Amino acid sequence: MPDKILQVCPGIPTVVTEDAATARQGVAWYVAFYLVMMGPIYRRALARLGFEKEVEAMLAANANRNPAIVPDEAEGLLEQLAIYGTPEQAREQLERWYDAGADMPLLALGPNLSSGEIDFVLQAFRNAPNPGHIA
C-alpha cells in the first residue's frame, strides 16, 4: 500500500534562460496570458486563494488583452505560480515546489521554443536533485 493516497502533480509554467531578466519576461507573458485570455477559472481560483488584488492588478495592466505585463503589486504571483530564471535559480525554485509537497512537478514550457531552447531547459534540470518524492 502506498504511503500516500493522492499524488500532487502541479503543472508549473517554466522559463529558463541564461539571463534572469529574459526568463522573467517570458514567464510574465505566460502567467498574464492565463489570467487574461483563458477565461475566469484561473482568476477565480487565485482570488479564492487570497490573490484577488494581484489578479485585479494583472487585469488592469493587461486591459488591452495583449498580455505580458506583471505590475509590481502582482509580482508575487510569479513566485507562487512559476519556475523561471537562470538554470541555478530554476533548480532552487523546483526544490521549493518539492518542499511544499509536490510529488511530481510537471514543467510546462512556453510555445514556439526551438529544439535548442528546449534542450537548454532539459539540461538545466538534468542534475537537479530529486528529493525522493517520486516512487
Kindly tell me if the per-residue pLDDT of 134 is higher than 90: no
Kindly tell me if the per-residue pLDDT of 11 is higher than 50: yes
- pLDDT greater at residue 1 or residue 116: 116
pLDDT of residue 21: 97
Domain locations in the chain? 11-126
The model's pTM is 0.87
Sorted by sequence, the CB contacts under 8 Å of residue 5 that are 6+ apart come out as none
pLDDT of residue 90: 97
Residue type, 36: V
Q: Are the C-beta atoms of 74 and 61 separated by less than 8 Å?
A: yes
